Amino acid sequence: MNADPRISAPSALRNRGFILEVLKPYLPADGVVLEIASGTGEHVAHFAQSLPAVMFQPSDPDPARRASVDAWAATLPNVRPALALDSTAEWPEEPVDAVVCINMIHIAPWTACEGLVRNAALVLRPGGVLLTYGPYRRAGEHTAPSNAVFDADLRARHPDWGIRDLEAVADLAVTCGFAAPEIVEMPANNLCLVFRRTSARCIDPIA
């Protein structure tokens, strides 16, 4: 008998309902959502169960994570097989209504954030949204002592990782055709940033 490929993350189980409530108002009744860095797949499976008319396209560069995503979503007709997609690579050209990225920006190099924003601007329909979730610094300061400890741990594990400045991410998004973000405070000192696409092209293309 094959081992169960499903991976579970306690944090995903805790935050998926809160994130869904932020995402819901931005989606058309029968939209398409692309998730970047889907991880275990527990987020997309929960979203798809709650929004059966919306089509979800998960993705992750890690094959074990993609197997977990597909296993969690195996019975859900509105979740496509997970793509082997990196935020810095070219994305499929299919237009989507939302791009969702949960807990990736702080555990990846800054180039991953640049690729996420640049590619989202290219695939989102006019008025579509990019939603990111995770910890951020505001005005150069951590929002909680626990985030400062977490940031130090991340940077010790990899010099290119770390909690990002909200303002830096927002400035990057504006250069790629997004409006200033709606900022939603979330449990556990996290934030949702919701960027609406207003232009199809980066004003200052990222090299």
Domain that holds residue 124: 105-207
Same domain, residue pair 153 and 182: yes
pLDDT of 29: 86
pLDDT of 159: 96
Q: How far is residue 129 from each of residues 10, 119, 196, measured CA to CA in Å?
A: 27, 12, 4
Q: Is residue 116 assigned to a domain?
A: yes
Condensed to tens digits (0 to 9), the pLDDT of residues 164-180 reads 999 999 999 999 999 99
Same domain, residue pair 78 and 130: no
Condensed to tens digits (0 to 9), the pLDDT of residues 101-126 reads 999 999 999 999 999 999 999 999 99
pLDDT of 145: 97
Same domain, residue pair 128 and 164: yes
Instruction: State how far the Cα of 122 lies from the Cα of 92, in Å rounded to an integer.
Output: 10
pLDDT at 33 over 80: yes
Beta bridge partners, 39, equal none
Instruction: Name the one residue in this structure whose structure tokens are 């889907």.
Output: 38
Condensed to tens digits (0 to 9), the pLDDT of residues 39-72 reads 999 999 999 999 999 999 999 999 999 999 999 9
pLDDT at 1 over 80: no
Tally the domains of the chain. Answer: 2
Q: Is residue 4 assigned to a domain?
A: no
Q: Is residue 68 assigned to a domain?
A: yes
Same domain, residue pair 152 and 68: no
Confidence of residue 203 (pLDDT cuts 50, 70, 90): low
Task: Pick the closest to residue 99 from 111, 116, 83 (CA basis).
Answer: 116
pLDDT at 206 over 70: no
Same domain, residue pair 80 and 127: no
Using a pLDDT cut of 90, give the percent of the chain over it. 92
Same domain, residue pair 111 and 79: no
CATH of the domain at 137: 3.40.50.150
Q: Average pLDDT for residues 21-41, to the nearest whole number?
A: 95
Is the pTM higher than 0.85? Answer: yes
Q: How far is residue 112 from each of residues 11, 37, 91, 165, 194, measured CA to CA in Å?
A: 22, 11, 13, 15, 18
Same domain, residue pair 51 and 113: no
pLDDT of 170: 98
Same domain, residue pair 126 and 72: no
Cβ partners under 8 Å of residue 42, min gap 6: 8, 9, 12, 13, 16, 72
Phi, psi (degrees; rounded to nearest 5) at 197: -75, 125
Same domain, residue pair 149 and 55: no
pLDDT at 205 over 50: no
pLDDT of 207: 40
pLDDT of 202: 56
Q: Average pLDDT for residues 5-15, to the nearest whole number?
A: 95
pLDDT at 204 over 60: no
